[in-house]
Amino acid sequence: MMSLISVDNLTKRYGRRTGVVGLDFNVPAGAMFGFLGPNGAGKTTTIRVLLGFLRPTGGKAGVFGLNTWRDSARIKAEVGYVPGDLRFYPWLTCKSALKIFGQVRGRDLMPAGAELSQDFDLDPDVRVRSMSRGMRQKLGLILALVHEPRLLVLDEPTASLDPLMQKKLYDHLRSLVSAGHTVFFSSHTLSEVEQLCDHVVILREGKLVADETLENLRARARRDVTIVWQDSVKLDAVTVPGFIDVYERHNRQWSASLTGSATELIRWGAQQPIEDLTIGQPDLARLFEQYYE
The residues binding another protein (CB under 8 A) are 14, 44, 48, 51-55, 72-77, 79, 81, 83, 85-89, 91, 96, 99-105, 140, 143-144
> Minimum Å distance from CB 254 to another protein?
47
How far is 164 from 138, CA to CA, in rounded Å? Answer: 12
Q: Are strands 244-250 and 253-258 parallel, antiparallel or unpaired?
A: antiparallel
> Which residue, 51 or 61, is less far from another protein as judged by CB?
51
Pair 134, 160: CB distance under 8 Å: yes
> Minimum Å distance from CB 83 to another protein?
4
3-state secondary structure of 12: strand
> Which residue, 34 or 52, is less far from another protein as judged by CB?
52
> Minimum Å distance from CB 75 to another protein?
8
> Which residue, 127 or 218, is less far from another protein as judged by CB?
127
- Angle among Cα 54, 192, 88 to the nearest 5 degrees reads 45
> Minimum Å distance from CB 246 to another protein?
45
> Which residue, 138 or 223, is less far from another protein as judged by CB?
138
Q: Are strands 32-36 and 182-187 parallel, antiparallel or unpaired?
A: parallel
> Which residue, 130 or 290, is less far from another protein as judged by CB?
130
- Angle among Cα 86, 285, 268 to the nearest 5 degrees reads 165
> Minimum Å distance from CB 225 to another protein?
43
Pair 279, 258: CB distance under 8 Å: yes
